[in-house]
Amino acid sequence: MHPHYISTDPDGTCPICGMDLVPADKTQEPTSSAGEILYYKHPMGKPDTSPVPKKDSMGMDYIPVYADDTGSGVAVSPEMIQTMGIRTAPAETRDFSRVLRAFGTVETNERLENVTVSRLEGWIENLAVNAEGDTVRPGSLLYRIYSPDLIAAQKDYLNSFRIGNEARIASVRQRLRSLGMQNAAIDRLTETRQVIERVPVYAEAGGTVAELQVRNGDYVKPGTPILRLQSYADVWVIASVPESDLPLVQAGMPAELDFPSAPDAPGKGQVDYIYPTIDPKTRTADVRIEVDNVSGYLRPGAYADIRLNIGGRPRLSVPSEAILLGSEGARVVIAEGNGRFSGRAVQTGISANGRTEILSGLESGDMVVASGQFLLDSEANLKEGLAKLEAPDASAASPETPLSDIPVDSKALAEIDHFTDMALYFHEALRDGYDIDPLFVDPALALVPVLRDRYANTKLAPVMDATQTALAAAQDATDREDLATQLSDLVEALKPWLLEGAPQHYSEAGLVLYRDTATGRYWLQEEAKPANPYSADGAERIDWLNPMAGMSMTTNDGETGADQAPGHSGDSHD
């Protein structure tokens, strides 16, 4: 905000930036429902605060921090919203249709390929096809073949006519077909009753000769390739589509085509097939488009410019500039109203026309910040980071400080309660006869080094060390006895804290500490009839001896109290 932003003219504008000037009667301290203002902080997040409102060297107003300004969000004054250029937009459902541009090449339609192989053994004569590129029509003569075996079969066929046995005639005719003599030649033989020494072979399909593998006089056997015919009445265009757009392409989708080398070629095609693999280098997949080419303008290898209309269904979306990308994924800044903003993780989909699809994390109508969100996000992250640094001051405790006097706030107590949760979990597994999941132990194990470092010079440190050993061993427990041993070790490690540190907390949470009378081993369970996990002998209930009145509880805002035990208790894992 400029230092000259106050104006007696309600319609005035700043001569420097053109922003509307704020009338003088609106420069009073903004009222807020957030409560009492504690202090004012630097607008750009610098570690500078002030007990009274002021401006920085650039004329920007310091931001008020209210007494109940809690959570991960931030509160911004109306003046700062204007200065930072914050602009919001709703999450709404929009039509996401767009044109996908791709490139591709013309290729032959493999369905229209026909390969001619010899069914006879003999010598090629009168080859009618002389070179690749020759056009062959269906039924036209390809070549003649001299085959002694076929001559003998023809004579047998003619003899069957002289005998007049219809069954034999049909049998020998079928033999001629099996040897490779086509129906047209058999019909001629039947009509003339003259042996055909050079049997003609006719094209069963039309096309262009793509490959010729014999010459006049060549000796062939059954299965010898003669030639390959390719029809170009239809061709394929193989398009390269980016991996991110591939889910939007569907078989049957129309395509618009442009061929620089064949401007008169048909400009429309249809998606015929989507190949199942992706090129790891280009991150694209091939999409096959079928194109009519009766005109013959298109030649294999020609370049094609392709346009596909994709993503036509409505989708929940926000402006693309509202998306913030970080190591933890995508997120947006939500405008909660009354100058408050908070971050929220979202899952994004496709982007088109300046908008990005939201798959989860937002609902229609949610207001997101589309401009200025980087400053707000930085401020929110800074606030969250500072909150994490506001751990209880353990430096006030020494190795001689009783457990009940170690400064522990509600957050730290909740973290320690993860270990009692594990004791309840192990006890339930032994009681109900199931194996524990080692992954369930990981969160508790992860908290141990955090708490150990925080309370390194106190009596809580050896409790953490013993707890870590028991938890790690429990993950490797192979049978019931192993788990029972680790339950005993875990409760033994926690026993000083349970009985001396926060007994009233666990009493109010409904937990009971028991001891097996036969083995002397301890376990924790919720208020109920004792279920001894170690033996069938009796159990002794251990009373919570010391009240929490002697325990110094420190809140995050620095206040202390003796009876601030939270309501957190170990989960029963039922």
DSSP letters spanning 500-528: IISHHHHHHTTEEEEEETTT--EEEEESS
| pLDDT band with cut points at 50, 70 and 90 for residue 318 | very high
149: pLDDT strictly greater than 70: yes
| pLDDT band with cut points at 50, 70 and 90 for residue 29 | very low
Helices 183-192 and 148-163, axial angle in degrees (round to 10): 50
In a domain, 60, yes or no: no
Domain boundary among 190, 222, 254: 222
Share of the chain above pLDDT 90, in %: 27
Highest mean pLDDT among 16-30, 183-197, 326-340, 361-375: 183-197
CA–CA gap between residue 460 and residue 413 (Å, rounded): 12
Q: What amino acid is encoded at 485 in this protein?
A: T
Domain boundary among 192, 222, 252: 222
Q: What is the pLDDT of residue 91?
A: 93
Read off the tokens for 242: 């980016």
Please give the sequence-ordered ranges of beta strands (E in DSSP) within 118-249, or none if there are none.
122-125, 135-136, 141-146, 198-202, 207-212, 219-220, 225-230, 234-242
| pLDDT band with cut points at 50, 70 and 90 for residue 106 | very high
In a domain, 126, yes or no: yes
In 3-state terms, the chain is what percent helix, strand and coil (to 5)? 30, 30, 40
462 and 409 inside one domain: yes
CA–CA gap between residue 382 and residue 378 (Å, rounded): 6
Whole-number average pLDDT of the chain: 80
400 and 538 inside one domain: yes
- Asked if 216 and 131 count as a contact pair (C-beta separation under 8 A), the reply is no
CA–CA gap between residue 518 and residue 63 (Å, rounded): 65
CA–CA gap between residue 290 and residue 247 (Å, rounded): 19
Give CA separation, 386 vs 70, 376, 382, 451, in Å. Answer: 12, 15, 6, 18
Q: Scan for tokens 């339950």, then name that residue.
A: 487
Tell me, what CATH number does 239's domain have? 2.40.30.170
List the single range of 54-58, 228-232, 523-527 with lowest mean pLDDT. Answer: 54-58
Residue spans of alpha helices (H) in 390-479: 410-432, 442-454, 460-475
CA–CA gap between residue 233 and residue 137 (Å, rounded): 13
**Count helices and strands in the chain by DSSP H and E runs:** 10, 34
90 and 175 inside one domain: no
In a domain, 50, yes or no: no
CA–CA gap between residue 301 and residue 6 (Å, rounded): 70
In a domain, 52, yes or no: no
70: pLDDT strictly greater than 50: no
List the single range of 9-13, 261-265, 292-296, 308-312 with lowest mean pLDDT. Answer: 9-13
Residue 29 parent element (H or E): none
In a domain, 102, yes or no: no
Q: What amino acid is encoded at 354 in this protein?
A: G
23: pLDDT strictly greater than 70: no
188: helix, strand or coil: helix
In a domain, 53, yes or no: no
Q: What amino acid is encoded at 412 in this protein?
A: A
C-alpha atoms less than 13 angstroms from C-alpha of 458 in its C-beta half-sphere: 24
Domain boundary among 364, 389, 414: 389
In a domain, 41, yes or no: no
90 and 188 inside one domain: no
Region 140-164: mean pLDDT is 89
504 and 416 inside one domain: yes
DSSP per position, 348-386: EEEEETTEEEEEES--TT-EEEEESHHHHHHHHHHHHHH
CA–CA gap between residue 50 and residue 55 (Å, rounded): 10
Q: Scan for tokens 């251990």, then name that residue.
A: 542
List the single range of 69-73, 263-267, 348-352 with lowest mean pLDDT. Answer: 69-73
Q: What amino acid is encoded at 125 in this protein?
A: E
Which domain, by its residues, includes 529?
396-542
The total number of structural domains that make up the chain: 4
571: pLDDT strictly greater than 60: no
382 and 274 inside one domain: no
Angle at 24 between CA 18 and CA 30, to 5 degrees: 100
Residue spans of alpha helices (H) in 110-147: none
Question: Minimal CA–CA distance to 475: which of 502, 443, 506, 453?
Answer: 443
Region 35-55: mean pLDDT is 60
CA–CA gap between residue 354 and residue 369 (Å, rounded): 15
Phi–psi pair at 566, nearest 5 degrees: -75, 170
Question: Minimal CA–CA distance to 210: which of 118, 291, 115, 126?
Answer: 115
In a domain, 186, yes or no: yes
